[in-house]
Amino acid sequence: MSDYDRRKFLKFGAALPLALQALNLRASTTASVRTPPKRIIFICNSLGFYEPNFFPARRGDLDTSPYLRELEVREKMTVFQNLFHPGMDTSNHDSEKSFLTGAPSPEATNFTNTISLDQVFAREMGGGTRFPFLSFSIYDRGWGCSWNSRGVAIPPMHDERRIFDRLFGEEDLSSKRRQIGNDQHVVRCLYRDMEQLQKQAEDRSKIESYRAVIAELEAKLRHEEFWLETRKPEVPDTLSVDQEFAFSTKVRNLFELAKLAFQTDSTRVITISLDWIYGAISVPGATGGWHTLSHHGGRADVIQKLSRVEKDIVGHLNEFLSALDMVEEEGGTLLDHTTVVVGSNFGDASNHTHNNLPTMIAGGGFRHEGHSVLEQPTPLCNLYLELLHRHGIDAAGFGSSEGELGLLKG
């Protein structure tokens, strides 16, 4: 294998998810699960929410929030106030990279990220499904909120039609087998390269990097072979093709895909990055650059347009949560067995601040309080650590966590 090919495949391997758990049983895609599995979804609104419209004006009363009162499942959600990520004072939009990691100073030229929270969940909860995790985004930037154990970005999927086909479309099994065979050849080449490096007494860290990439590739191949002969679920195509408001349609479709993926037990871990690019978007009642609108500077006319964009997103979130709550399962609904985490890397996008991050958890079977105001600024990673523990995942800490606060009841 040439040096170029070796670098290419090392880069490819580095972008893979964590090594998957060994599978014991082939999960049925048609039979109902007697004990519903736990699922989790992370949703990052990368330009935040206009704070006066998001947080309740009166403590504990979600109906005093212009956005949250639109949500029909308010009895199954809690909004947390006064959470932040330490070390983000100068990180600007780069802070999105640390939304699910808590790694400080993402704007630094020598920044190396850490594993994202969704990948820890994927490692522990994803082994029994065709897709250990799914990551979606609005645009194709090559990175989103998911990062592997070596801090390398895992590119999200952004084309709704391709996502639907990957989840539910028919596959060319002959082509898939050839691809698996090619990947197995790559693994053998990497083994030979690693043996050469060992003979040459190369840098130990480089050898360990090879070893980690090979392990992940082998796990990925075992997983793909395992699911190769299992038919995908058959579901109706419910994606919207309305292009009058393309941004709004995209948000709606990504939520719909997430619902279908959970409902068919195609995955149990999903991350959605509602990211932005420069340029105009259009939603019912407003047209403009989302980024430009987020820098409203307190101007009422700009805030009005920004609120239209954010209210449109909240409207799609409401449809998603309500749809999950309408799917009945043993002992509750799909929402009761799905923890929905909604948040942002920005507290105030207009001034690029990272304190008082808008954070909401819905579903998951918790006893929700509606509105939880922390008495002092608290690392968001404290809540992340608690999420791990409440899902049966043993962890001494995560990111900048300082310990549990008992925020999740029930």
Higher pLDDT, 2 or 167: 167
Collapse the DSSP code of 270 into the 3-class scheme (helix H, G, I; strand E, B; otherwise coil) and give the result: strand
296 has pLDDT over 60: yes
pLDDT on residue 24: 36
- On the 0-12 / 13-18 / 19+ scale of CB atoms within 10 A, 270 is buried
DSSP character string of 158-181? --HHHHHHHHHS---HHHHHHHHH
Rg (CA), the chain: 22
Over the stretch 141-156, which tens digit does the pLDDT of each residue have?
999 999 999 899 999 9
Task: Using alpha carbons, list the distances in angstroms from residue 219 to 44, 119, 402.
Answer: 29, 15, 33
Residues 102-148: tens digit of each pLDDT: 999 999 999 999 999 999 999 999 988 999 999 999 999 999 999 99
> What tens digit of pLDDT does each residue of 236-286 get?
999 999 999 999 999 999 999 999 999 999 999 999 999 987 788 999 999
What is the per-residue pLDDT across 301-331, written as a single tens digit (0 to 9) for each?
999 999 999 999 999 999 999 999 999 999 9
Check whether 9 has a pLDDT greater than 60: no
Mean pLDDT of the chain: 88
Cα distances from 266 to residues 27, 119, 150, 175, in angstroms, run 9, 16, 26, 22
Cα-to-chain-centroid distance, residue 21: 20
The whole-number pLDDT of residue 129 equals: 94
Instruction: Specify the pTM.
Output: 0.85
- 25-55: per-residue pLDDT in tens? 333 344 444 789 999 999 999 999 999 999 9
Confidence of residue 84 (pLDDT cuts 50, 70, 90): very high
Bigger pLDDT: 204 vs 14: 204
Residue 290 has pLDDT above 90, yes or no: yes
Please say if the pLDDT value at position 352 is more than 80: yes
> What percent of the chain is predicted at pLDDT more than 90?
72
State residue 214's pLDDT score: 80
CB 253 within 8 A of CB 247: no
Tally of CA atoms within 13 A in the half-sphere of 351 that contains its CB: 11
Q: What string of DSSP letters covers 223-269?
A: HHHHHTTSPPPP---------TTHHHHHHHHHHHHHHHHHHTTS-SE
The confidence score (pLDDT) of residue 17 equals 40
List, for residues 188-217, the tens digit of each pLDDT value.
Answer: 888 788 887 787 776 777 778 778 778 777
Domain boundaries, the chain: 1-19+170-231, 32-169+238-390
171: tokens are 């596959």
In terms of Cα–Cα distance, which of 195, 108, 196, 119 is closest to 150? 119
Q: Quick one: which H or E segment has residue 332? A: strand 332-333
Q: What topology does CATH give the domain 32-169+238-390?
A: Alkaline Phosphatase, subunit A (3.40.720)
pLDDT exceeds 60 at position 6:
no
